[in-house]
Amino acid sequence: MTNRWKPSATVAAIIEQQGRFLLVEEHTPEGLRLNNPAGHLDEGESLVEACAREALEETMHVFTPTHLLGVYLSRFQRQAGPAMAAEDITYLRFAFCGTLGALQAGRHLDTGIVRTLWLSRDELRASATRHRSPLVLQCVEDYVRGQRYPLSLIHTDISVINPQPFATVTNL
């Protein structure tokens, strides 16, 4: 059997208040980078749940997705380093916008996140060389253009949340 190519499914929260966007500064193998609050889809959760969870873990704020901003595909190639193999990863990103809730006292930023910061679109454009991926700015630009899709476009089957064991066949 040949290996099947599978992109990494990720979610991102595009959070804006008064013309500024909430970003995270995080450690990566390429150094400190700026990113939208984002991360991978975990087993057993919907895309909306994953986005809310990632935003909370990375910003310590409750985030409620209200719209799908877009679906993005991006490829990242990391060169091999002294203690690191080369990587060729394709990300399938589902970006959401929504409402930011209260800071959750007693929480800590997720591992690797150094801090959160608010940047204007101009500041975001000026810092493009520090972005984790080109999708950081692309999602913000789409948000500013007013791109929004209803969450009803996304369907999560109950089998994702409540998987049933495989039926076994018995010989009679």
User: What average pLDDT does the segment 103-120 reach?
Assistant: 96
Global pTM reads 0.88
Q: So what's the pLDDT on residue 78?
A: 74
Sign of the C-alpha dihedral, residues 47, 48, 51, 52?
Answer: negative
Of the pLDDT bands very low, low, confident and very high (cuts 50, 70, 90), residue 22 is very high
Is there a domain that residue 85 lies in? yes
Is there a domain that residue 169 lies in? no
Is there a domain that residue 53 lies in? yes
Q: So what's the pLDDT on residue 82?
A: 77
Find the domain containing 28 and state its range: 8-161
What share of the chain has pLDDT > 90, as a percent? 78
- The secondary element (H helix, E strand) that includes residue 158 is helix 158-161
Of the pLDDT bands very low, low, confident and very high (cuts 50, 70, 90), residue 12 is very high
Q: So what's the pLDDT on residue 166?
A: 63
CA dist., res. 135 & res. 94, Å (int): 11
Q: What is the mean pLDDT of the chain?
A: 92
What is the CATH classification number for the domain harbouring 95?
3.90.79.10
Is there a domain that residue 168 lies in? no
3-state secondary structure of 57: helix
CA dist., res. 72 & res. 17, Å (int): 23
Predicted confidence (pLDDT) at residue 138 exceeds the cutoff of 80: yes
Q: So what's the pLDDT on residue 18?
A: 97
User: What average pLDDT does the segment 4-13 reach?
Assistant: 93
Q: So what's the pLDDT on residue 4?
A: 86
Of the pLDDT bands very low, low, confident and very high (cuts 50, 70, 90), residue 84 is confident
Is there a domain that residue 99 lies in? yes
CA distance between the termini of the chain: 32
CA dist., res. 44 & res. 54, Å (int): 14
Is there a domain that residue 47 lies in? yes
Cα torsion 104, 107, 108, 109 to 10°: value is: -40
Total count of domains within the chain? 1
